[in-house]
Amino acid sequence: MAKLRPKRRNEFFPSLFESTVETDVFNKFFGETHYPQVDIQEKENRYELEVDLPGFSKENVEVEYRDGYLEIRGTKERKSDTKEQEGRYIRKERTYGSFRRSFYIGEIEEAQVAATFQNGVLTLSIPKAPNLHNDHQGHRIPIE
C-alpha cells in the first residue's frame, strides 16, 4: 500500500487520509505505483546495489547501463487463479505489473559489472572507472 507522506513517530492522531479505506479508494481510482526498495552503497572503487524484488524471477528482470545511467526494469504478471471462482478475496495487497528505476552512476567498467539474483534480491557490484571516456552504445548486464 503506497503512503503519500512519511509517518511521523510522535503523531498523536493518525491522518484520516492514511486510513485503510481512504488509501484503498485513492489507489483504486488513481492507480498505485510500485517501486522496489533499493540500497546503494558507494565504496572506494565500486558501487554495491541491493534491490528487493519479492515474487520476481530473474527472467523477468533486466539491467542496462547507458550514458552513465543504470536502469533496472522488471515485470510481474498476475497468475490466473482458480481460487477466485471458489470464493472472493477480502484483501489483496500483492502488487503486479512492471517497474522501471534509473540511477545516474557515471562512468563504469561495463565488462566488470556482476549481477546476481537470489531469494528475491538483485545484487549488483559495479566497478567505477573515473577516467574512462568512451562513447557507449549501451550494454545489457546478464543476471546470474
Q: What is the CATH classification number for the domain harbouring 58?
A: 2.60.40.790
Is residue 62 in a domain? yes
Task: Tell me what pLDDT residue 38 has.
Answer: 96
Answer for the pair 41, 118: CB distance below 8 angstroms, yes or no.
no
Lowest mean pLDDT among 10-24, 29-43, 105-119: 10-24
Full domain range(s) for residue 42: 34-77+95-141
108-128 pLDDT per residue, tens: 999 999 999 999 999 999 999
Is residue 128 in a domain? yes
Provide the terminal-to-terminal Cα distance of the chain, rounded to the nearest Å. Answer: 31
Is residue 51 in a domain? yes
Widest Cα–Cα separation across the chain? 62
Is residue 12 in a domain? no
Is residue 104 in a domain? yes
Amino acid at 12: F
Number of independent structural domains in the chain: 1
Task: Tell me what pLDDT residue 32 has.
Answer: 52
Is residue 58 in a domain? yes
Q: Residue 140's pLDDT band (boundaries 50, 70, 90)? A: confident
Higher pLDDT, 2 or 65: 65
67-103 pLDDT per residue, tens: 999 999 999 988 766 655 678 888 888 888 899 999 9
Higher pLDDT, 65 or 26: 65
Is residue 57 in a domain? yes
Answer for the pair 141, 109: CB distance below 8 angstroms, yes or no.
no
Is residue 48 in a domain? yes
Range 22-31 average pLDDT: 48
